[in-house]
Structure 1
Amino acid sequence: MTGASDLFSLSRRSLFAIVGPCALEELELGLRVAERLAAIQDELGIPLVFKSSFDKANRSSVDSFRGPGLQTGLEWLQRIKEASGLPVVTDIHAPEQARPVADVADVLQIPAFLCRQTDLLLAAAKTGRIVNVKKGQFLAPWDMANVVAKLEAGGGESIWLTERGSSFGYNNLVVDMRSIPIMQDTGWPAVFDATHSVQLPGGQGTRSGGQRQFVGTLARAAVAAGCNGIFLEVHPDPDHALCDGPNSLALDALAGELRRLLAVREAVHGN
């Protein structure tokens, strides 16, 4: 099992991927996906982090599936971590969640809509875990320097910054690949979220749509641009996923996509 300090060190020198279902739908699904991810990691030699959320607090509709909640979600993540040997990452939405989540997760993720919440950032930083902050759809990449300053003020020593697209009119996103080197100029690794970047926020009225056919295109462009890591939400059956299915990659397509990303990195960057 890769420890958090080893994982952060790896993220500075080799391509890694954050991968998993959007939300924890059920324990068995999480275990099945993580087992497959562990096998892919062994086969391809790319460090993988299992990602899934115990609560999706910013869904479009009050009736949308959110996840099993904090207590059950952490119990499931602990079992997934032990069974697969993979490090895990999950979202937090309130400062009081930081400490209990850090007891299980190797990485605490700050959702894009909450990326400027000072108390949340400080609480996450104080845990000593890696903190991955999604850049808000409303922020310029250079504005993430202020987010970094807050994390560093809270004692954060392991920070990832994630590009996930910028608002482009209504119900649409666009990606500016310049954000990757701009965010890296803060001194911290930059991750590219290829699946949320093809999301159509609120595009289906009470839920978001997506264009998963462009996930690979944007992921390869981001690797060519020099990102340190790739974020990919995957599901065994995306069309029936309970959360973010339209922009999720099929689990069976993951290994092939990662091979292509590693080939792009080798061709462009030589490692």
Structure 2
Amino acid sequence: MSHEVQIGSFKVGAGNRPFLIAGPCVIESEQLVLDTAGKIAEITKSLGIPYVFKSSFDKANRTSIKSYRGPGIENGLAVLKKVKDQLGLPILTDVHTEEQATEAGKVVDVLQIPAFLCRQTDLLIAAAKTGKVVNVKKGQFLSPPEMANAVKKVEECGSQRIVLTERGSSFGYNNLVVDMRSFPIMRSFGYPVVFDATHSVQLPGGGGTKSSGQREFVEPLACAAAGAGVDGFFMEVHPNPDEALSDGPNMVPLHQLKSLLERVMRICDAAKPRS
């Protein structure tokens, strides 16, 4: 059983209803972000799912140096603050440096440590010191038990506001697989575990100068994770993924989100341990 972690007005973990982290991969425009956040909020409210909005102000690990990275921290945080103020949603965003963690921690509710950076001690410490929830994504190169080391780094700063996210493991070239054993293993560390259903179907570098993806497998993997037992789901969502500036091939089309969540939550309810 995991600790409860407070995010905004709700708690996650410890048997609470699974929550959703969702939004466009990267901030493309203020209007797109506000519109998408509002529509996802309507869907999750209708289904009784606690919701955290996610979008990135900077994608620092794009495959190509020419790829769109985002509006930058100053403009990006201004947009995220509007989502928080106008829609009343808790906010999650990625941070890549200690300085970004400090600045973003003044605005957002959850600081996300990208998978490639999950072993960066100084970054984990800086995020923990903000007092905000720290969502550490498991590196594609790590086994699930190794994530205990990341947990200990955050705990050493006096924080138990930790969430762990599974996003697949490298399997050969340009491919990821999800080991369902990861969920009970990481849950055993005592914190909520989230399944990143969209990055898990990514084909890293599969497009040559960009990553590709197989969004048709988001639903079956999310359903499998629901059956295995998770505390939340992470899904990047876009009104038109084929025109998105980042991660389009693996993002969930907005118009498909409600039916996907309905199915996933039915499985969560069926799989919930009986008291």
Q: Same fold (TM over 0.5)?
A: yes
Per the TM alignment, residue 5 of structure 1 is displaced from its structure 2 partner at its CA by 5.8
SS in structure 2 of the partner of residue 232 of structure 1: strand
Residue number in structure 2 paired with 1:146: 149
- Quick one: distance in 2 between partners of 1:81 and 1:11? 23
1:164 to 2:167 alignment: yes
Tell me the secondary structure at the aligned position of residue 81 of structure 1.
Answer: helix
- 5+ residue gaps in structure 1? none
Residue aligning to 1:86: 89
Matched to 2:114, the amino acid is P
Of Structure 1 and Structure 2, the greater helix share is in 1
What is the distance in 2 between the residues matched to 1:50 and 1:238?
A: 17
98-107 or 21-30, which deviates more: 98-107
Distance 1:235 1:164 in 2: 19
User: Gaps (5+ residues) in structure 2?
Assistant: 1-5
Matched length:
268
Instruction: Tell me the CA shift for residue 206 of structure 1.
Output: 0.2
* 1:268, distance to aligned residue in structure 2 (A): 1.6
1:29 aligned counterpart, secondary structure? helix
Instruction: Name the structure 1 match of 2:212.
Output: 209
Distance 2:178 2:172 in 1: 13
2:147 aligned partner, one-letter code: M
Find 2:198's aligned residue among 191, 195, 199: 195
CA–CA distance in 1 between the matches of 2:205 and 2:8? Answer: 37
Preserved contact between residue 18 and residue 48 of structure 1 (Cα < 8 Å)? yes
> For 1:10, which of 9, 12, 17 is the aligned residue?
12
Moved more, 96-105 or 114-123: 96-105
**Distance in 2 separating the partners of 1:215 and 1:41:** 18
Alpha-carbon shift at residue 125 of structure 1 (Å): 0.6
TM-score computed with the length of structure 2 as normaliser: 0.95
Describe the SS at the equivalent of 1:71: helix
- Could you tell me the percent identity over the aligned residues? 58
Query: For 1:26, which of 25, 29, 41 is the aligned residue?
Result: 29
- 2-structure distance, mates of 1:11, 1:24: 28
Structure 1 residue identity aligned to 2:12: L
Residue matched to 2:233: 230
What letter corresponds to residue 118 of structure 1 in structure 2?
T
- 4+ residue runs over 4 A deviation: none
For the pair 1:51 / 2:25, whether they are aligned, the reply is no
Amino acid of the structure 1 residue aligned with 2:177: V
- TM-score, with normalisation over the residues of structure 1? 0.97
User: What secondary structure, in the 3-state scheme, does the structure 1 residue paired with 2:22 have?
Assistant: strand
**Quick check: 1:266 aligned with 2:269?**
yes
Match of 2:250 among 243, 247, 252: 247
SS at the partner of 1:233? strand
Indicate the residue corresponding to 2:104 in structure 1: 101
RMSD over aligned CA atoms reads 1.2
